[in-house]
């Protein structure tokens, strides 16, 4: 446990964790962000600024897994599943200090500096609330107990459950969000984690920016976090060993088909006979009427830049010799962004552990296939393998990925004749160079409401235009 700051404000923080997490699909407060439960990130932040911390929830027993500090008091919501106003009333009624901070349990980037900045603006007011372009932020606001508790109770009794209604009945200091940029330049403290796509952003941000590491390094029991599975998987074709890769031992039939397809060993679906899998030992046997080339054993293998010990037999020169991808497909930026979000919602292993990559294949605006693996190359092979096995056309499709798009990923995309590939992560310069030659549209950094189109931007239509 980290040592608490002794110079704290005479303020009680109420962390509201009573929501249903409907858009996430699971209880988001316990999801992992950089080795801690999401709610722990918030509790640690408010604990550095506030003398006392309360957590209001409908599920007190579930918080035993969150490893919260012993001094945190857990309250059951007075009005379960009726919105945050019930939680605010519950916390105000149990607050001994003059002021209370209400904060949502899904704000992992909240900093003590923002809390102190709001505290300094309370003079002459009964409430202090930030104002963004979306409106008032009642779940990162200060409430003076004596003034706000009776008002909130009255609103709750009359069926008005929106917390913002409180501010119309008490003296309220409305703080423009830009006024907080001096302590939080990117206003990250105001970001909520509502969807799997938001969770991806939060996990990436937690590891990218050291400014958001607080209170020293904390040791976390490994039982708190689900570990992604990984093992060596050896692929055989017609009784010949082809390659061994480190992979998540799920969907191994798809992995083998996709890998052999991308390496040119499987080309005719009708000639495929069987795929047998021994997941316990990490062995896959593929039999096909297509023969393994006689010179296969002497071919040079290239270790890729990816995780999972990716391997390919395609060199950069081989990649540049592929036939360009011709397609009239045009997709709107909004549709691409929505598809990335949908893939994140269906990537259950990433949501649970944060340690795997996901890939997806979309056609006609619908996400057809999603697969996950510790290796980004494997995840792509699994998607393309399943598409090949099910005879799902990949021409005029969109490939989606959480991991970096490097040259060997582009080669796999080109061989499948996919015209557009989108990633939440980066695009390497070599990948962009090859994609440009092969007429593939590469899109990177698809997160935070933005897309970066790196090659053949003519296929991506700006929002508001017709595709």
Between CA 337 and CA 329 the distance in angstroms is 16
Q: Which two tokens stand for residue 458?
A: 């003519």
**Beta-carbon count within 10 A of 325 CB:** 21
Q: Is 39 helix (H, G, I), strand (E, B) or coil?
A: helix
Residues catalogued as catalytic: 307
Between CA 354 and CA 360 the distance in angstroms is 17
H-helix or E-strand containing 399? strand 398-401
**Domain 226-467 carries which CATH code?**
3.40.140.10
Q: Do the strands 127-132 and 140-144 form a parallel or antiparallel pair, or are they unpaired?
A: antiparallel
**Owner of token pair 């040079």:** 300
Q: What are phi and psi of 372, to 5 degrees?
A: -130, 155
Count how many Cα atoms sit within 13 Å of the Cα of residue 305 in the half-sphere of its side chain. 13
Between CA 70 and CA 362 the distance in angstroms is 47
Q: What global pTM score does this model have?
A: 0.64
The domain locations on the chain are 9-223, 226-467
Q: Is 38 exposed, middle or buried (0-12, 13-18, 19+ CB in 10 A)?
A: buried
**Beta-carbon count within 10 A of 209 CB:** 12
Between CA 147 and CA 212 the distance in angstroms is 34
Residues 6+ away with beta carbon under 8 Å from 177: 130, 131, 132, 133, 137, 187, 190
- What is the full per-residue pLDDT of the chain (467 aa) written as tens digits? 344 455 899 999 999 987 665 556 667 888 877 677 888 889 999 999 999 999 998 888 778 777 788 899 999 887 766 678 999 999 999 999 999 999 999 999 999 999 999 999 999 999 999 999 889 999 999 999 999 999 999 998 888 888 999 999 999 999 999 999 999 998 989 988 887 777 777 777 765 554 444 445 555 555 545 678 899 999 999 999 998 999 999 999 999 999 999 989 999 999 999 999 999 899 999 999 999 988 776 665 544 545 544 555 555 666 777 899 999 999 999 999 999 988 988 888 876 666 789 999 999 999 999 999 999 999 999 999 999 999 999 999 999 999 899 988 999 999 999 999 999 889 999 999 999 999 999 999 888 778 999 999 999 998 766 66
The CATH architecture one would assign to domain 9-223 is Alpha-Beta Complex (3.90)
Between CA 17 and CA 32 the distance in angstroms is 15
Could you tell me where the beta strands, DSSP code E, fall in 95-249?
99-104, 127-132, 135-136, 140-144, 172-176, 231-237, 240-247
């Amino acid at each position: 446990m980290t040592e608490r700051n002794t110079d704290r404000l005479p303020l009680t923080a109420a962390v509201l964790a009573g929501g249903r997490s409907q858009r996430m699909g699971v209880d988001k407060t316990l999801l992992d962000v950089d080795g801690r439960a999401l709610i722990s990130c918030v509790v640690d932040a408010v604990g550095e600024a506030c003398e006392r911390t309360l957590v209001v929830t409908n599920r007190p027993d579930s918080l035993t897994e969150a490893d919260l500090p012993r001094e945190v008091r857990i309250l059951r919501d007075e009005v379960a599943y009726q919105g945050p106003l019930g939680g605010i009333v519950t916390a105000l009624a149990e607050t001994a200090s003059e002021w209370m901070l209400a904060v949502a349990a899904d704000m992992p980037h909240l900093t003590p500096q923002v809390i102190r900045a709001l505290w300094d603006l309370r003079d002459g007011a009964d409430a202090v609330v930030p104002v963004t372009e979306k409106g008032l932020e009642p779940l990162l606001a200060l409430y003076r107990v004596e003034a706000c508790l009776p008002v909130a109770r009255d609103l709750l009794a009359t069926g008005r459950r929106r917390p913002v209604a409180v501010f119309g009945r008490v003296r309220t200091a409305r703080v423009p969000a830009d006024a907080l940029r001096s302590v939080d330049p990117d206003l990250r403290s105001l970001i909520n984690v509502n969807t799997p796509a938001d969770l991806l952003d939060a996990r990436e941000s937690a590891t990218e920016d050291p400014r958001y590491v607080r209170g020293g390094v904390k040791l976390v029991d490994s039982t708190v976090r689900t570990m992604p599975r990984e093992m060596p998987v050896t692929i055989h074709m017609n009784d010949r060993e082809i390659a061994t890769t480190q992979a998540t031992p799920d969907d191994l039939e798809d992995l083998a088909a996709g890998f052999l397809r991308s390496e040119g060993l499987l080309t005719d679906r009708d000639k495929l006979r069987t795929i047998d899998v021994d997941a316990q030992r990490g062995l896959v046997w593929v039999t096909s009427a297509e023969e393994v080339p006689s010179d296969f054993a002497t071919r040079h293998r290239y270790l890729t830049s990816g995780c999972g010990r990716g391997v390919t037999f395609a060199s950069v020169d081989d990649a540049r010799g592929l036939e360009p991808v011709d397609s009239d497909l045009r997709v709107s930026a909004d549709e691409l962004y929505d598809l990335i979000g949908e893939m994140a919602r269906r990537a259950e292993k990433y949501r649970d552990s944060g340690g795997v990559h996901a890939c997806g294949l979309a056609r006609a605006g619908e996400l057809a296939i999603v697969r996950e693996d510790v290796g980004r190359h494997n995840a792509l092979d699994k998607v393309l393998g399943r598409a090949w096995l099910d005879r799902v056309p990949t021409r005029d499709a969109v490939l989606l990925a959480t991991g970096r798009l490097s040259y060997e990923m582009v080669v796999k995309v080109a061989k499948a004749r996919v015209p557009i590939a989108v990633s939440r992560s980066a695009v390497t310069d070599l990948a962009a160079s090859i994609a440009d030659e092969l007429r593939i549209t590469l899109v990177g950094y698809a997160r935070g409401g933005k897309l970066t189109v790196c090659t053949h931007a003519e296929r991506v239509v700006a929002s508001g235009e017709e595709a």
